[in-house]
């Protein structure tokens, strides 16, 4: 099997699965309980929080555990908007955000908030000048996706942070879900206030994640009922999931030191090889992108047909983000970059992990060439 759909989800490390099972059996007590078993679970939870904080370059008090990227983004965006609505109801994001951000802003518009959706240009990035012009004295939040989940485009989040440093009343949120282990990000250096990560994107388990909340930032909680997670996220903590999240993050960051360059080599090979195939158009820009994502269009061929053709050869790719892959029609992200509707409707995404090899890439290229040729002959 050649698995090239790692931006949808990654295969969990075996050690992570074993950690989850072991903690579930041995430390099953509620960490809020006063008895000794609860204390054991609480100590394990605190240790995991310290570890993840150190990996992020944060303080333990700045780490809130969540169920993943969607929840983290919702807490960050709705929590900020609701907490500061008396100060202003203007919010800023981009046209190329993940659905969990884009749809959250659409919801806030329905309850009275004003949202500026910054355009992206053919390189997939926003204009810093556009951002500066959009800021008003009513702006309370800027939310930007670090690494685009469909195209791999990296937004200039550090430069954005410099601009927002001059506007201390604006909260700055970054969705870092696709960046962990692939594109380093210094939270404090970039003046980031809120940052979302999701465990299953870096070989952790589904249902695990964290939200960095810089000390001093106020959020209105979406879940109430308990004092867990600094009263930002009530509910009994998933101790086994949280400990496994810390393990997955450590293992990913260790692998990244040795294998990030390998990802770049595989991506470069795929981009070069596929760009020479007649009928294929590469949508991921050559520069300014993460090393693990490549988006291309096969003009005139339905993406679902193309995906199932590759699946018959035990090669697994996707169309767009897993959250939107079953939706018909063109990719909103590609349309925002100026890609025409036909190409945006036939896009394919390859997304890599540190497990993938150049040999797999070569096999996939041959299979893609064959699939394009055969499907075009059937269509004649």
- Distance between CA atoms of 171 and 83, rounded to whole angstroms? 11
DSSP letter assigned to residue 327: -
- Distance between CA atoms of 187 and 205, rounded to whole angstroms? 24
State CA 111 to chain mean position distance.
26
- Distance between CA atoms of 339 and 330, rounded to whole angstroms? 10
Active-site annotation holds for 323: yes
Q: Which are the contacts of 287, defined by CB distance < 8 A and separation ≥ 6?
A: 123
**Whether 118 contacts 135, CB under 8 Å:** no
CA nearest neighbour of 353 among 100, 195, 144, 180: 180
Going by their DSSP bridges, the two strands 347-351 and 139-145 should be labelled as unpaired
- Distance between CA atoms of 261 and 237, rounded to whole angstroms? 36
Exposed, middle or buried: residue 237 (CB in 10 Å: 0-12, 13-18, 19+)? Answer: buried
- Distance between CA atoms of 213 and 104, rounded to whole angstroms? 19
Count of helices and strands (H, E) across the chain: 11, 12
Q: Which of 128, 268, 282, 323 is catalytic?
A: 323
- Active site residue ranges: 323
């Amino acid at each position: 099997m050649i698995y090239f759909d790692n931006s949808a989800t990654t295969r969990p490390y075996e050690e992570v699965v074993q950690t989850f099972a072991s903690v579930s059996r041995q430390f099953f007590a509620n960490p809020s309980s006063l008895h000794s078993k609860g204390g054991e679970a609480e100590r394990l939870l605190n240790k995991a929080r310290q570890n993840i904080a150190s990996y992020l370059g944060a303080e333990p008090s700045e780490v809130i555990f969540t169920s993943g990227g969607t929840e983290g983004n919702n807490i960050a965006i709705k929590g900020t908007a609701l907490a500061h609505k008396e100060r202003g109801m203007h919010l800023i994001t981009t046209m190329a955000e993940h659905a969990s951000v884009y749809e959250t802003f659409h919801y806030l518009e329905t309850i009275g908030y004003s949202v500026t959706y910054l355009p992206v240009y053919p390189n997939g990035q926003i204009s810093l000048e556009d951002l500066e012009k959009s800021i008003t004295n009513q702006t309370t939040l800027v939310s930007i996706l670090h690494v685009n989940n469909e195209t791999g485009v990296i937004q200039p989040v550090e430069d954005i942070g410099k601009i927002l440093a001059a506007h201390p009343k604006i909260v700055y949120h970054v969705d870092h879900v696709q960046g962990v282990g692939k594109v380093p990000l210094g939270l404090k250096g970039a003046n980031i206030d809120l940052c979302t990560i999701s465990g299953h994107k870096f070989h952790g388990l589904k249902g695990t994640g964290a939200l960095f909340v810089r000390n001093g930032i106020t959020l209105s909680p979406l879940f109430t009922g308990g004092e867990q997670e600094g009263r930002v996220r009530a509910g009994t903590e998933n101790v086994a999931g949280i400990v496994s999240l810390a393990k997955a993050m450590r293992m990913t960051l260790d692998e990244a030191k040795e294998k990030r360059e390998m990802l770049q080599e595989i991506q470069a090979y795929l981009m070069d090889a596929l760009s020479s195939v007649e009928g294929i158009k590469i949508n991921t820009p050559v520069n300014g992108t993460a090393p693990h994502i490549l988006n291309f269009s096969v003009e005139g061929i339905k993406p679902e047909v193309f995906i199932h053709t590759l699946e018959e050869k035990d090669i697994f790719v996707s169309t767009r983000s897993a959250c939107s892959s079953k939706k018909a029609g063109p990719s909103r992200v590609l349309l925002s970059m100026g890609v025409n509707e036909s190409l945006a409707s036939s896009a394919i995404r390859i997304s890599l992990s540190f497990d993938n090899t150049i040999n797999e890439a070569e096999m996939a290229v041959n299979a893609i060439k064959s699939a394009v040729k055969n499907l075009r002959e059937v269509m004649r």
